[in-house]
């Protein structure tokens, strides 16, 4: 027997619009606004994104030389070949940013300037790839001391069990990583629309471990390198992400795909509706 949860009316939770220079998603449930921008010229991308990068990467972590910044903003040569994703509060305060770099055909990816890959690694087709970089979350939105500067919970390597996130519940948690996941969902939607299948990322192992615990299984493709600190180059196959999330983290997988959650094997015969749940949502199975 199969229980199929009624489809969530995501249009009631998410509203989307295009405004010429950027796209916008309003997450009414988590009360956050997500926008994507192209380029780096004035009028294309709000300067506050680059100021947040300066605060995190130049001042807080001192990975980049603050003297190279311009008017308290951090830029590099890849910004004009990037799609920038940003998270705002409902009162238009910037709280997070990340970019996806898609270089020109003969242009290297940022990680290739600083990292090497394993001899047996085969580079995917260039136009199917993008590199995640410059991920930063405002200090006020890192919920706990254990959170990294990127705004996600820190985990001990000894923790064996995966972190199964239910976005419908996590929004109520004071240490929720929904800000990061919201930006990743926008980046995932953009990648699928543009034919991007692979994400590169040069990350600290702690971040890769935390993402793996949420179901994002980045694969190491090279040794540790000194690239704004000790990082490892990773690759994520988006073609495998959906089935892996569906298997390891069904609530998050359904949320990423904006699809109803399905349990192939019910945990019990009894279904109850959580008080206050959105209309039409069967919230719990006893």
Give whole-number Cα distances, 87 to 94, 96, 266, in Å.
6, 5, 36
- What is the tens place of the pLDDT at every residue in 20-47? 668 888 888 778 899 999 876 667 899 9
Instruction: Among 6-15, 37-46, 165-174, 182-191, name the one with the lowest average pLDDT.
Output: 165-174
172 pLDDT above the threshold of 50 = no
H-helix segments, the chain: 10-13, 47-53, 167-170, 178-194, 205-213, 238-248, 250-257
* Domain residue ranges in the chain: 3-285
> What average pLDDT does range 262-278 have in this prediction?
48
One of 3.90.1010.10, 1.10.1270.20, 3.40.630.30, 3.40.50.300 is the CATH number of 3-285, namely: 3.40.630.30
Nearest-CA neighbor of 192 among 245, 239, 259? 239
The least confident of 107-121, 187-201, 203-217, 272-286 is 272-286
Least confident of 9-23, 51-65, 184-198: 9-23
């Amino acid at each position: 027997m199969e229980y199929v949860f009624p489809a969530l009316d995501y249009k009631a939770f998410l509203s989307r619009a295009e405004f010429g220079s950027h796209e916008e998603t309003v997450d009414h449930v988590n009360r956050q606004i997500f926008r994507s921008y192209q380029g780096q010229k004035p009028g294309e991308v709000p300067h506050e994104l680059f100021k947040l990068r300066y605060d995190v990467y130049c001042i807080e972590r001192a990975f980049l030389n603050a003297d190279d910044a311009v008017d308290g903003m951090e830029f590099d040569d890849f910004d004009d070949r990037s799609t920038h994703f940003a998270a705002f509060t409902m009162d238009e305060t910037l709280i997070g940013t990340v970019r996806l770099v898609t270089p020109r055909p003969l242009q290297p990816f940022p990680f290739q300037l600083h990292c090497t890959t394993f001899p047996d690694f085969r580079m995917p087709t260039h136009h199917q790839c993008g590199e995640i970089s410059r991920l930063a979350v405002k200090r006020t939105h890192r919920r706990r001391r254990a959170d990294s500067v990127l705004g996600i919970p820190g985990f001990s390597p000894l923790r064996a069990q995966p972190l199964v996130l239910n976005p419908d519940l996590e929004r109520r948690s004071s240490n929720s990583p929904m800000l990061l996941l919201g930006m990743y969902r926008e980046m995932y939607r953009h990648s699928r629309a543009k034919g991007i299948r692979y994400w590169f990322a040069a990350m600290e192992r702690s971040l890769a471990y935390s993402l793996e615990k949420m179901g994002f299984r980045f694969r190491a493709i090279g040794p540790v390198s000194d690239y704004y600190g000790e990082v490892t180059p990773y690759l994520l196959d988006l073609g495998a992400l959906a089935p892996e999330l569906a298997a390891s983290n069904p609530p998050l997988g359904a949320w990423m795909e904006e699809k109803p959650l399905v349990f192939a094997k019910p945990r019990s015969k009894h279904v109850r509706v959580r008080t206050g749940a959105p209309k039409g949502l069967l919230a719990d199975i006893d």
